[in-house]
Structure 1
Amino acid sequence: MYKSEQLAYNIKQLIENGSLKANEKLPSLRDQVDRSGLSLMTVLNAYQELESQGLIYSIEKSGYFVAGIFSPLIPSNPNPTVALNAKVKINSLVFKYLKSIQPSEVVPLGSAFPNHQLLNPPKLIQIMGQLTRNRQNFEQNNNLPPGNFELRKLIAQRYCMQGIPTQPDDIVITSGCLDALNLSLQALTKAGDYILLQETIFYGAWQIAERLGLKVVTIPEHPQEGFDIEAFEQAIQTYPIKVCWFMLNCHNPIGFTVNEKIKFQIAKLLHEYQIYLIEDDVYEELFYRGTKPLSMKYFDQHNLVLHCSSFSKTLGSTFRIGWVYAGKFSEHIQHLQLMSTISANTLMQNALVEFISNHHYEKHLRVLRRNLEKNKRIFFEYFKKNLPAGCEIHNYAGGYFLWLTLPSHISSMTLYEHLIQQNIGVAPSQLFNVQHAQKNHLRINCSFAWTKEIEMAVKQLIKYMSKLQN
């Protein structure tokens, strides 16, 4: 273990055992150098690693502090083994669920999207309004696959800023991230192939696997790190895995971000076993403090990672423009795209070019992150004070979801079915885990301002949880 890793581990232990309290200031870099006898660079590397894990945060000219919403554990798996799901059947359940939370009167605590009041920036809407007055902005030819060149160029520049060499031709613009993920999986697999998923994962992954007739192998989450690297290696040694589909930054639904050391190990094993990875990184911009977590594409030296993301979680579902860093698969994905969605919305692509190139996007992201962090903290504090005994909150520095663990005898599906009758939506764990090994978890969307309506909905949730517990 490197000296910086040892120092980071020691500080992490102090946070986990409560020796360092939430929002407590850490020794300055110079003070830590004097205390530890390590070099300034070693201490800085340790602090930056802790910051990337969401354990600490920095304030300019003030120093480093312990994160106030740290949650050290994710739900432990009672049977932490690799599992094969030869025939996935979940689409009907997801369809019924999404239809049930669709009405406008439903309090959207089960929604996958952030509060629309934080999205749809007025400047972007203004730009779109201006562009609609010029017929040339509806010209389709320049926006057919692989998509608007200027937009691909801007996205490529954002990769380069993170140290990922990228050309516009590496990027294919899609109609949202799910479209990018769908096209990527179609490009890499055929019916009957084995793919590897995290055991608890965004339900879209299960739906696409069901539609394509794929055999799904799952690996459990690691109770401390989020990603179980040993289970990953066991799975790829046991089954002829063709492709992995992972979410490693602001994981949906649990919320953890996997650290860089594990990401490096994943990349090494992908190369050793020659397995492709489709990375679902739709929440990549929704970190709270410090620098943006690195994607797996950063660690990919052998063109085995297809990185998928979107503007829909930062700008709103109206602006459903996504992309895939397709590299050598770019042309294949474009062929598939021309047989399905054809292309992403032309006007929106043009509007995004102007919005991003004039630096409006970065300003919007800064405001969005602050609001999401503030709103999530309010939800967390309320749940912490009011949840009945036997419940746990799993909370991580990023995104806008809380993952709740209920007592083992309570079914989150039962809770959802009761609450939806009261026009309150929540997301039960059965949507994210086809094995239903974990039936007692809920995903809560915490992106909303704390209004009377939200407070009443949360009170109803807690009230019924208490009733089921008795």
Structure 2
Amino acid sequence: MYKSEQLAQHLKRLIENGSWSAHTKLPSLREQAEISGFSLMTVMNAYQDLEAQGLIYSKEKSGYFIAEHLKAQMPHSTTIVSLNPKIEINSLVFKYLKSIQSKDILPFGSAFPDHHLLTPTKLLQMVSQKARDQKSYDQTTNLPPGNLALRKIIAQRYAMQGISTDADDIVITSGGLDALNLSLQALTQPGDYILLQQTTFYGAWQAAERLGLKVITLPEHPTFGFDLQAFEQVIQHYPIKVCWFMLNAQNPIGFTVSDDIKYKIAKRLHEHQIHLIEDDVYEELFYGMNKPLSMKYFDRSNLVLHCSSFSKTLGAGFRVGWVYAGKYSEKIQHLQLMSTISANALIQNALVEFVSSHHYEKHLRQLRRRLEKNKKRFTQYLKQHLGQCCEIYSFPSGYFLWIRLPLHIDSLELYQQLITQNIGIAPSPLFNVSDSNQHYIRLNCSFEWNPSIQTGLDTLIHYILNLQSQS
């Protein structure tokens, strides 16, 4: 363990046990170096790590301060575990996605980062070079399970995280959603029970509706994000076949579940022999130095199918995903050959060259820094103007903000009003099928600040305050 990690863990324990109250000023970098005996650089790295975790915050020319406890950052759970035997969300999602397609719409509702931050020049050069080589279009070597060289590179990246992997465990797909859908189809039959987080990516709801599955939902825990007690109750009382969870930079809320809770989830899955489809498409968009562990890391029974994608780091044009399928690899390939067949051969070949070079890691570091900077500015601006009537939930990863509106404001109505002004937002009915808790919106804050962005935010603020004044 690095010295900065040791110091960060020590300070984290002091924060979590209440030794320091919220907004208490920490010792300066120089003072902390004298107290701890570590170098200034080590102390600075530790403070930056704690800031990335949301435990402390910095003020220009003033130093570092203790942040509000995480409990104050999470929406309170107001709904118990619920059974959703009939899901009807596809029509709403279809209409919503059609409504935000126009290039004139300010894309605060988009699921993708700002395209200006993606598709690095070096990658485009590699694509251009590959495009002139006829062998790059050879589809036979890129059919399921996908390009062997790309699968080997992905397997190596798993190994770097301490996850033993072979290229044969990996199936390349046409994006992360394709990986998730194929995995769910491989593991379930119509009428099976599956377990979802109560507020989750709408693709999970769509897949459940399409496959005729019965859905049980877990409420979010107000402190830890994942309600372990509710999870244990559900798997004891319902014949859950599959869980579909997003535990790193969860979409739409944004929290990351601790390693301790992930370990306990894996233990319960093993005890009850329940499979987990892990949606981890935001795995690379963490802040700070330490990448969060995936559930696959804790899987000792081959019950976790880990799904991810390049589309959130390289853009929608590079919609290539994968699933760590293990023993289900062949079944997923059979399903794939009956649907999407395979991912684009040219893109797979270009990714082999780009991801295996130092350019990919350099791009990821730059992307994380810019997303963190942009998210912080959005958060500060919205808290300044809406802090009296809304709660802004901001977590140290990804590029989404989850905003709790006043109780009487319906997020779908707000979305419909804003779309007439060419502003897109993502209302909570896309992520939660219950009739309650529909006063939240998800906001994409990956965009570089400019007059157009500020004008769009000012319009959003105006509409919220106007609806608030009508109560």
Q: TM-score, normalised by structure 2?
A: 0.90
RMSD: 2.6
Structure-2 separation of matches of 1:278 and 1:66: 38
Shift of 1:16: 8.4
Alignment correspondent of 1:39: none
Shift of 1:238: 1.4
Structure-1 separation of matches of 2:68 and 2:292: 18
Alignment correspondent of 1:12: 16
- CA deviations on 1:36-92 (whole Å, 9 max, x unpaired) are xxxxxxx9xx9999688543699xxxxx9668798542111223x110000110000
The question of 1:171 aligning with 2:158 is answered no
Alignment correspondent of 1:191: 190
Specify the SS of the correspondent of 2:347. helix
| Cα 1:65/1:176, change in 2 over 3 Å | farther
8 Å contact kept, 2:249–2:397? yes
- CA deviations on 1:233-260 (whole Å, 9 max, x unpaired) are 1111111000000000000000000000
Alignment correspondent of 1:394: 393
Question: Counterparts of 1:18-29 in structure 2 under 5 Å?
Answer: 18-21=22-25, 28=32
Specify the SS of the correspondent of 2:443. strand
Alignment correspondent of 1:55: 55
In structure 1, runs of 5+ residues without a counterpart are: 35-42, 59-63
Letter matched to residue 133 of structure 1: R
Alignment correspondent of 1:286: 285
Across the two proteins, how many residue pairs are aligned to each other?
Answer: 451
Structure-1 separation of matches of 2:188 and 2:49: 36
The question of 1:344 aligning with 2:348 is answered no
Alignment correspondent of 1:462: 461
Structure-1 separation of matches of 2:249 and 2:390: 22
Alignment correspondent of 1:266: 265
Structure-2 separation of matches of 1:333 and 1:358: 29
Question: Counterparts of 1:17-96 in structure 2 under 5 Å?
Answer: 17-21=21-25, 28=32, 31=35, 53-55=53-55, 72-79=72-79, 81-96=80-95
The question of 1:372 aligning with 2:405 is answered no
Structure-1 separation of matches of 2:47 and 2:201: 31
Structure-1 separation of matches of 2:454 and 2:236: 49
- CA deviations on 1:333-386 (whole Å, 9 max, x unpaired) are 001100000011100000000001122110110110111011111101101111
Structure-2 separation of matches of 1:332 and 1:152: 17
| Cα 1:193/1:8, change in 2 over 3 Å | same
Structure-1 separation of matches of 2:57 and 2:78: 33
Letter matched to residue 15 of structure 2: I
Structure-1 separation of matches of 2:410 and 2:28: 37
Q: Which moved more, 1:274-283 or 1:429-438?
A: 429-438
8 Å contact kept, 1:146–1:334? yes
Letter matched to residue 74 of structure 1: M
Structure-2 separation of matches of 1:177 and 1:23: 44
Letter matched to residue 181 of structure 2: N
Structure-2 separation of matches of 1:12 and 1:49: 15
- CA deviations on 1:243-289 (whole Å, 9 max, x unpaired) are 00000000000000000000000000000111000000000000011
Structure-2 separation of matches of 1:417 and 1:315: 30
Letter matched to residue 412 of structure 1: S
Question: Counterparts of 1:26-425 in structure 2 under 5 Å?
Answer: 28=32, 31=35, 53-55=53-55, 72-79=72-79, 81-387=80-386, 389-425=388-424
